[in-house]
Amino acid sequence: MGKFKLSISMSLDGYVAGPDQSEKDGLGIGGEQLHDWVVPLKAFREGHGEEGGEVNASTPIAEGILGNVGAVVMGRNMFGGGPGPWADDTWKGWWGDNPPYHSPVFVLTHHTREPLEMQGGTTFHFVTDGIESALEQARSAAGEKDVSLGGGADVTQQYLAAGLLDEIVVSIVPVFLGSGARLFDNLGDATPRLEQAEAIEAPGVTHIRYARVAEPR
């Protein structure tokens, strides 16, 4: 069985999205700065069907986000912001006809909907019976490969509190968003125990990889 892993960009003040997420591709106001390190990379552009791009110390991280990934789990905000688009079953996500996932994507929601098959191997499945069910379905679809948690903050907090993530890569970006969605919030007493596995200095970002400590505190 593969790992259940998360790779996410976070501002120095702890946000993974700015305010008004529904307004701007789910990243909120100012949130696009969180991805300034990844967008110019060859590894990112290839995943989006584009040529060229940079290779630098961030490349292994960008490659790892969807590398060896057999399925993806994501929250409803990540698939489609605010109540506006989501209320409409013609909404197909932020990524156009050929999303960069190229694998089954399990979207956690309270809204029942038929699976949505896109180009390039991405099919969105809508899961209404909770995070454990979504992970189970994703693991089953992924086989021996990893399952990637696609965000956003709400769903990530739920998986963290449940202690289900095997690996987290936090890419810390030197910007302040001031408000929005904080990644490590609402964990209650169920704080996961992590150990630092690796840190990588890259242009304009530091990537830190954490592994779950097997024995709960």
Question: Which residues bind to a copy of itself, rule: CB under 8 A?
Answer: 12-14, 170, 172, 174-176, 178, 182, 184-185, 187-189, 191-192, 194-196, 198-201, 204-206, 208, 210
Helices (H), the chain: 42-47, 59-66, 76-79, 83-86, 131-142, 153-161
Nearest residue (CB) to a copy of itself, 4 versus 210: 210
CA distance 144 to 75: 23
The least distance separating a copy of itself from the CB of residue 193, rounded to whole angstroms, comes to 8
- The pair of structure tokens assigned to 152 is 């956003």
The least distance separating a copy of itself from the CB of residue 117, rounded to whole angstroms, comes to 38
The least distance separating a copy of itself from the CB of residue 178, rounded to whole angstroms, comes to 6
Nearest residue (CB) to a copy of itself, 127 versus 165: 165
Cβ atoms of 69 and 142 within 8 Å: the answer is yes
Partners of 117 in beta bridges: 123
The least distance separating a copy of itself from the CB of residue 14, rounded to whole angstroms, comes to 4
Nearest residue (CB) to a copy of itself, 164 versus 172: 172
Nearest residue (CB) to a copy of itself, 72 versus 202: 202
- The pair of structure tokens assigned to 153 is 């903050």
CB neighbour burial string for 107-139, b if at least 16 within 10 angstroms, e if fewer: bbbeeeeeebebeeebbbbbbeeebeebbebbb
Nearest residue (CB) to a copy of itself, 17 versus 118: 17
The least distance separating a copy of itself from the CB of residue 12, rounded to whole angstroms, comes to 6
